[in-house]
Structures are given as C-alpha cells and as structure tokens.
C-alpha cells in the first residue's frame, strides 16, 4: 500500500502546495519550522480540512480528488491521526477511549484488537484511569493505542513528542520506533525537531512556507542538501557564496579562501559545512597536511551540557569588522579542553568530504 498526496490550499500567509508519496515500511518525516504548513497538511490528508485542489490516494482508495469532486469524509478514510495534544476524551477512561475507536471494526475483531494495542503500546494497568490521571508519556501511549485501535491504513503523527518533558522523549521515541517497525503501513510524522526526524524516519520531506524544499532518503538530504535553504532547515550553520576556479577548486567568497572540493558541480553557487564537521588541525605538527586549513581566532562561544559551539573568524583576529565571524564549529567539550589554552590562531580544517555544494 502507498499513500499518494497532492494538495493545494491557500493559507493566510502563503499557499500550501505539496506533492509526495509515502510507502509501506518507510516512515516519512515532514520537517519544517513552525508555521510552515505541516499540521495543515496532515489535517488535509485526514479529512479535517478542505484543500482548494488536490488528490489523495491510499492504496486503491481515492480519498480526495477535487477534479472528480470526491471527498471521503474523515470517518471513512481509515487514516489514524495522533493529535499534538492527544485529544483523549476526558470523560472516558483509557479503555473507553480505545473502545470508542474499536467500534470502527467488525464486532468479532474488536476484543482481539483492543487487547493487542494495549499490549503493544505497553499501557496495561491503565485501562480504568481517566486521561487526567495519566502522565504525559502515558497519555501519548494511550493516544497511540487509540489511533491504532481502528486498524488504520495510514498513520499520521503531529509533533508526537513536543508536549513531553525531555527525559521522557527518548523513552517514547524508542516506543514509536517499535510501533513504526511493527506497523509497516504509510506513516507520516510531522516535527520541527531535526534529530527526531532523522532518528525516527527513513524518508524526509522538508517543508518551507508551504512548498516541498526537499524530499527523499534522509541520508541523501543531510549529506547533499539540494539548496542552501534545505541545508539551513536541516540544521547546517555555515554557508558561503562560491566561484568555481578550477575543476576541483572553488573560491569561497564569504569566507575569503580557496577550497579543494571532491566533485564540483557545474552550477555550484554555495558551499556549506555542518558545524560538527569543522575540524581543528594540529597545525603545530610539521609536515601535517595544509589542505583546506586556515588560521582562525575565537570570537565567542556558547555552551550546551556536552558540547560547545565556537564562533570563529578566519585569517585575521577579530577587530569589530563585519562579518563578526565566518564559521560555527561544534565540538565535544573533552576535545575543546585539549586546545582551549593553546595560543591563537588555531587552525581549522574544512575536509573536502565534509563540504557540500549547492546550485542555489
């Protein structure tokens, strides 16, 4: 079974205009900043919103075709939607919530299905509680159980982890991975968290102001983003305009240096490197490679519990000029401890394999 989606809808700020497909057993992450139309997209697929134009086909069933005036109502779509804040019915116990969903199934299948989803989502023991008596993680699992109880032919999840405390996220993420592995039908997960998208899904769709900025296998998009915008949306911090000067050499205009690159595309317009790929060379060692290695000075830094982000200026010490810095480098603190006291300039190395070029 596959889910094919093509949707156009005018929103107050921009137009949602997307087309993609999701296949069995390859969960798809819809990644985009808040307000990029992600939730609206899910609601259109689930049948809660009316697109201006579009076509949604799930397996053999046409759920929406504005050209043929087909619009299957939400209740008949067999599409499970997990709401961001779960929308568990507050007046019903956990079991009653799941029972409500199981009513979509033939009578003989209900009991078995209910037992199965309770077991799979690890919520046995909670059956007779009311939603407000559950923790955030438990509510999330119950909502998942309820969505699965209808035996949906596709599963849509709207920011499933965003309402949870940090310490619960890992746990629930593992649970979702397990569910996705067992579910094996088209699965869409909407998120604005890059790492979450990468860990949970194989396929990635990057959404930006309503249009598809990138769509494909996640490794491909992360390693070779098609545009600067996608690179930025997938968390890349460092970009420079380029001029191609030789088959394997470019001039990075914003960084003021020449770089060796592996496979320069003809139309390369930008070069980028992810912050954690910026390497520090032990330049003091005589005979060390000087390829793509440049002196740099620390402008400022910003700490997270285990890593540090260093804002670096290339070629000359910071003197208040613009730009304030050229590169952001992210290193583990253990590594930073080793060179933090060394005299400047330090030396950064922009490994050719870590650099990527984009045409726009």
Partner 1 sequence: MDWSPVWISLATSVTATLITMVFGLAAAAWRERHNGPLMAFVDGICLLPLVLPPTVVGFFLLLFLGHNGPFGKLLAKYEVTILFTWPATVIAAAVVSFPLMYLTARAALEQVDPHFVQAARTLGASEWRVFWEVALPLAWPGVLAGTILSFARALGEFGATLMLAGNIPGKTATIPIAIYFAVEGDDIKRALAWCAVDVGISLILLAALYSWTHTRGPARWARR
- Which chain residues interact with partner 1 by CB under 8 A? 46-48, 73-81, 83, 85, 87, 89-91, 100-101, 103-104, 129-133, 146-147, 149-150
Compute the distance between CA of residue 35 and CA of residue 192 in angstroms, rounded to an integer. 10
Closest approach, Cβ 95 to partner 1, in A, equals: 14
Q: Considering the complex, what minimum distance in angstroms separates the CB of residue 30 from partner 1?
A: 17
CB of 353 within 8 A of CB of 262? yes
Beta carbon nearer to partner 1, 148 or 233: 148
Task: Report the DSSP pairing between strands 346-349 and 293-303.
Answer: antiparallel
* CB-nearer residue toward partner 1: 97 or 234: 97
Between strands 2-10 and 154-158, the pairing is unpaired
Q: Which is nearer to partner 1, 27 or 80 (CB)?
A: 80
For residues 152 and 264, which CB has a smaller minimum distance to partner 1 in the complex? 152
Cβ distance to partner 1 smaller for residue 71 or 199: 71
Q: How far is the CB of 144 from partner 1 (least distance, A)?
A: 13
Contacts by residues 326-329 (CB-CB < 8 Å, ≥ 24 positions apart): 326/238, 326/240, 326/254, 326/255, 326/256, 326/296, 327/238, 327/255, 327/273, 327/275, 327/278, 327/296, 328/237, 328/238, 328/275, 328/278, 329/275, 329/276, 329/278, 329/280
**Residue 136: partners with Cβ closer than 8 Å, 6 or more residues away:** 163, 164, 165, 168
> Minimum distance between the CB of residue 130 and partner 1, rounded to whole angstroms?
5
Q: How far is the CB of 54 from partner 1 (least distance, A)?
A: 18
Least CB distance from residue 89 to partner 1, whole Å? 6
Which CB sits closer to partner 1, 7 or 228?
A: 7
From the list 149, 84, 69, 160, the residue with the least C-alpha distance to 110 is 149
Three-state secondary structure call for residue 137: helix
Q: Please, what is the minimum distance in Å from the beta carbon of residue 81 to partner 1? A: 5
Of 111 and 337, which CB lies nearer to partner 1 in the complex structure?
Answer: 111
Which residue's CB is nearer to partner 1, number 5 or number 310?
Answer: 5
| Minimum gap (Å) between residue 94 Cβ and partner 1 | 12
H helices present in the chain, as ranges: 38-46, 94-102, 107-120, 136-149, 166-183, 194-200, 218-223, 228-233, 333-339
Nearer to partner 1, 85 or 184 (CB): 85
CB 318 within 8 A of CB 297: yes
84: nearest Cα among 125, 34, 121, 14: 34
| CB of 38 closer than 8 Å to CB of 32 | yes
Minimum distance of partner 1 from residue 134's CB (angstroms): 11
235 in Cβ contact with 194 (< 8 Å): yes
Residue 80 CA to residue 83 CA, distance in Å, equals: 10
């Amino acid at each position: 079974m596959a889910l094919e989606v093509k949707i156009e809808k005018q929103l107050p700020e921009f137009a949602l205009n997307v087309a993609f497909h999701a296949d069995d057993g390859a969960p798809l992450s819809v990644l985009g900043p808040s307000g990029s139309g992600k939730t609206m997209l899910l609601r259109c697929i689930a049948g809660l919103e009316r697109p201006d134009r579009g076509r949604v086909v799930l397996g053999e069933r046409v759920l929406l075709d504005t050209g043929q005036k087909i619009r299957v109502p939400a209740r008949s779509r067999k599409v499970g939607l997990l709401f961001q804040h779960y929308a568990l019915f507050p007046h019903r116990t956990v079991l009653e919530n799941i029972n409500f969903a199981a009513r979509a199934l033939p009578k003989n299948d209900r009991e078995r299905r209910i037992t199965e989803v309770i077991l799979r989502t690890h919520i046995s023991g909670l059956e007779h509680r009311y939603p407000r008596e559950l923790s955030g993680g438990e509510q999330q699992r119950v909502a998942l159980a309820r969505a699965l109880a209808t035996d949906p032919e596709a599963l849509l999840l709207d920011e499933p982890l965003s309402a949870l405390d940090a310490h619960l996220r890992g746990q629930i993420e593992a649970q979702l991975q397990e569910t996705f592995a067992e579910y094996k039908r088209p699965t869409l997960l909407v998120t604005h968290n890059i790492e979450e998208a990468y860990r949970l899904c194989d396929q990635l769709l990057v959404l930006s102001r309503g249009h598809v900025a990138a769509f494909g296998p996640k490794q491909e998009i992360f390693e070779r983003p098609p545009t600067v915008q996608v690179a930025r949306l997938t968390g890349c911090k460092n970009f420079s305009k380029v001029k191609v000067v030789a088959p394997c050499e470019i001039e990075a205009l914003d960084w003021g240096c020449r770089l060796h690159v592996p496979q320069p595309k003809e139309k390369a317009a930008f070069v980028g490197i992810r912050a954690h790929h910026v390497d520090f060379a032990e330049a003091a060692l005589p005979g060390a490679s000087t390829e793509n290695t440049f002196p740099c000075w620390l402008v400022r830094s910003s700490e997270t519990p285990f890593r540090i982000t260093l804002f670096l200026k290339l070629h000359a010490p910071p003197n208040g000029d613009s730009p304030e810095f050229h590169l952001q480098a992210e290193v583990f603190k253990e590594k930073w401890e080793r060179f933090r006291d060394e005299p400047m300039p330090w030396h950064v190395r922009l490994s050719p394999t870590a650099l990527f070029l984009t045409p726009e």
